[in-house]
Amino acid sequence: MKKRVSKKELRDSLNQDIEQYLEKGGEVHEFDRGESGLVNGRYNEQAMSFEKRQERTPVPDVLRAIDERREARRKPQRKSETKRQSGPKKKVIYDDFGEPLRVVWED
């Protein structure tokens, strides 16, 4: 696996490249802020144009429908609403070997 270059190593490498460039006779030109964006002394209006914003789609009806579906899931079903009172239940008693011994009714 390759070792990633750290920020310090990258910074040192870039500074070394700049020094070599300047030693070979290269020049660095400084510009005022925003000057490089000018074309013939004026801003390039085509580059500054923004695209028209798209109309937003109204979504309250969609959100309302989603909320209604969520509420419908949270509400108990009709079967559980009309729950019958249960009577005694049958319980089978087994021995140690899994054979049924007797039946007992529990409330």
Digit-coded pLDDT (tens) for 14-59: 999 999 999 999 888 887 776 666 667 676 666 555 666 678 878 8
pTM of the model: 0.30
Digit-coded pLDDT (tens) for 59-94: 889 999 999 999 988 866 666 555 667 788 999 999
Alpha-helical regions (H) of 35-105: 45-48, 60-74, 78-81
> Tokens standing for 93?
């008693």
pLDDT at 1: 79
